[in-house]
Amino acid sequence: MIKTTVRALAAAALALLPLAATVPAHAAETLSLHDAIKALPQAAESRDGYERSKFKHWIDEDKDGCNTRNEVLLAEALTPPTVTAGCKLTGGTWSSYYDDKVVEGPSGLDIDHMVPLAEAWDSGASQWTAARRQAYANDLGSERSLVAVTARSNRQKADQDPATWMPPAADAQCTYLADWVATKLRWSLTVDRDERDTLRARAVDCEDTDVEYDRV
């Protein structure tokens, strides 16, 4: 089950749960996957100076007691968890679209940054302010930016881009490419040559896939 289906099933459960405030965005644009990849600026990558701590997360921006991790879990739950004091979550079920696994309970899930923090640094975030890096690391303004997946798949992915890692579930491939490209466009991040070549090659099998995104 792809992520968009998961979000739709969870929407009703979220009606009374406000999400954290996000950076104001421009009007959404929609491109074919091919054209969206073409729109990505190409540049060499550098990890000089990267430290994960330079992207502050998980925060509780709207002060409702639930940090970004828990906001994502609440947003993506197939079966809503029980929420108790301190935004402690118990029970619930989730679908990890990377590996097409259904997970019971939140402890088996990681919240993955679609474009990993290290990759974002390599691709332009090294030049950002601390405030913009924090906004990126806690981006609840786009359903593509953060995703609840099995801890196993998230740790296999680590900080790799699509040139070296793709989700193992066959049905996830085109969705993942669209999510990756949309996130890079949203945050005006670059791609390197190998990444661009891989995206173009893999997009051949995703002719009917569109990319919807807004810029921040």
pLDDT tens digits for range 57-95: 999 999 999 999 999 999 999 999 999 999 999 999 999
Give the count of beta carbons closer than 10 Å to the beta carbon of residue 113.
23
pLDDT at 4 over 90: no
| Cα–Cα–Cα angle for 61, 64, 68, rounded to 5 degrees | 50
Residues 6+ apart with CB under 8 A from 185: 36, 39, 40, 211, 213, 215
Answering whether pTM is above 0.75, one says yes
Give the whole-angstrom CA distance, residue 6 versus residue 77: 7
What mean pLDDT is predicted for residues 94-106?
98
Do residues 81 and 90 touch, judged by C-beta distance below 8 A? yes
pLDDT at residue 45 is higher than 70: yes
Instruction: Tell the residue number behind the tokens 């074919």, with chain if given.
Output: 32
Q: Which helix (H) or strand (E) holds 10?
A: helix 3-10
Distance CA 3, CA 100 (A): 10
pLDDT at 27: 81
Task: Answer positive or negative: Cα dihedral of 118, 121, 126, 129.
Answer: negative
Instruction: Return the HEC string of 37-72.
Output: HHHCCECCCCCCCCCHHHCCCCCCCCCCCCCHHHHH
- 148 - beta bridge partners? 111
Please give the pLDDT value at position 33: 98
Span of 9-23, 29-43, 181-195, 202-216 with lowest mean pLDDT: 9-23
DSSP 110: E
- List pLDDT tens digits, range 16-36: 333 333 444 468 999 999 999
- pLDDT score, position 26: 64
pLDDT of 130-166, one tens digit each?
Answer: 999 999 999 999 999 999 999 999 999 999 999 999 9
**With 50 as the cut, is the pLDDT of residue 51 above it?**
yes
